[in-house]
Amino acid sequence: MTEEKSVESAPPDSQISEVSVESPPPSGPTPEVKPVEKPTGGGRSPLTAVLVILLILSVGMSSYIYIDSGRRIGDLNTQVSTLTSSVQGLSATLADSNTKINALTQTVNGLVSGGGGSTGGGVDITLLYEQVKGSVVLIKSTLPQGTATGSGFVYDTQGRIVTNDHVIDGANSITVTFIDGTVVPATVVGADPYSDIAVIKVDAPTALLKPLSLGNSSALKVGEAVLAIGNPYGLADTLTSGIISALGREMDSASGYPIVDVIQTDAAINPGNSGGPLLNMRGEVVGINTAIPSQTSTGIGFAVPSNTIARELPSLIATGKYDQVYIGIQGIDVTPGIISTMGLPTGTHGTLLTSVTRGSPADVAGLRGGTSFVNVDGVLTPIGGDVITAADGTEMKGIYDLILYLQRNKRPGDTMSLSVIRGGTLLAVSVTLGIRTG
């Protein structure tokens, strides 16, 4: 009979193997049977799985970083290439700018040092003449009594040319000749006989219209170098040089009224120079060469100042005329003899009104002229009129100061307050200014 023996022996965590034994009864002690262990979980622990996952993540992250870094490097290379091109372009521009700066520096140095030409105040007159000569023109006016010649200068690119009124006054026709010989007809835009200024216009090629800039004549100083360019006696494009001899001169005009604030120069001016520019050493127009005391230059010439031109041009261009301010008085400077004769306070300065035009702004305001003639310092003088000592609170030392103040600061329709001595009493008289008509 066969004996079956079942043996169960294993650690709690191990699997139990069943062994069936069919054999003859042992003849000795019973042998010990050990269980067989089977591997669990495929042979991996949870820690190993975690490590594997971390390794996979690490490899993936490294791959991403590598790929992203490559892309970034590519972008940076593109940016570097673009910046390199930009820098090269800027370098070329800088080099070109440096070339231009060097050229300008050489030009300036040439002007300052003299550049081998004749100089005036350190400026090369030769270079300055070359810069401005193309802007000066010869003007011919056909008059009933013949042909008159004068000068002018280009004011703007629309063909406007500035000259003297007496150069074109009464002309049946006007022609303008440019430096290259081009001759074109001109028409009158506007004129003011009281300041002897006129504007004419031509239809000329744009290349010939080279405007000159107006300078500030109030900034001029006696002794300052100036140039005159014009056509004396028809001799085209003549240059003369000199200095400012005096400022604030008074000059008679063809209209019979004095032109005030006039520039005096010793630059040679002759018939035919009229209307041409008087230039400072920057090539700016500071005046229009207008008159000389005689038919030939004597070292004394007069020019209407550029500030007068600048004040009148807008109106001349827009309306064809300029309304000069008008008050309607005649007067003389107060002298010690007049002070003594009229019993004025010692040290009085001002204008003694010798007459007041009937119906004028001064007459309407009640100003009074002389009442009797008395011999003052050997001269028969109208006395007894009002003495103007100030205008709008500004002291007027004489008749010229009063006229100059009116010209520079007042327009028709403006009101001016005058300080007046009448019969030993100081009065304030308000005058509404009018328009000069003749």
Question: How far is residue 264 CA from its own chain's centroid?
Answer: 28
Confirm if 95 and 247 have CB atoms less than 8 A apart: no
CA–CA dist 75, 122 (Å, integer): 59
196 is catalytic: yes
Alpha carbon distances (Å) from 179 to 37, 76, 434: 123, 62, 43
Encode 269-295: b = buried (16+ Cβ within 10 Å), e = exposed: bbbbbbbbbbbbbebbbbbbbbbbeee
253 is catalytic: no
Per-position DSSP letters for 84-110, written without gaps between them: HHHHHHHHHHHHHHHHHHHHHHHHHHH
Confirm if 306 and 286 have CB atoms less than 8 A apart: yes
Q: What angle do CA 66, 72, 76 make, to 5 degrees?
A: 140
Confirm if 283 and 214 have CB atoms less than 8 A apart: no
The one-character DSSP state at 194 is T
The one-character DSSP state at 376 is E
166 is catalytic: yes
Residue with tokens 């081998």: 116
Confirm if 325 and 407 have CB atoms less than 8 A apart: yes
> How many CB atoms are located within 10 Å of the residue 185 CB?
13
Catalytic choice (166, 245, 386, 419)? 166
As a whole number of Å, the end-to-end CA separation of the chain is 170
Per-position DSSP letters for 32-44, written without gaps between them: P-PPPP---GGG-
Nearest to 264 by CA among 307, 229, 293: 293
Residue with tokens 């100081």: 426
Catalytic choice (253, 274, 297, 419)? 274
* Orientation of helix 46-113 relative to helix 125-132, angle to 10°: 100
Catalytic choice (124, 192, 196, 401)? 196
Contacts within 8 Å (CB) and 24+ apart, 5-8? 7/33
Nearest to 326 by CA among 412, 431, 416: 412
Confirm if 421 and 389 have CB atoms less than 8 A apart: yes
Catalytic residue ranges? 166, 196, 274
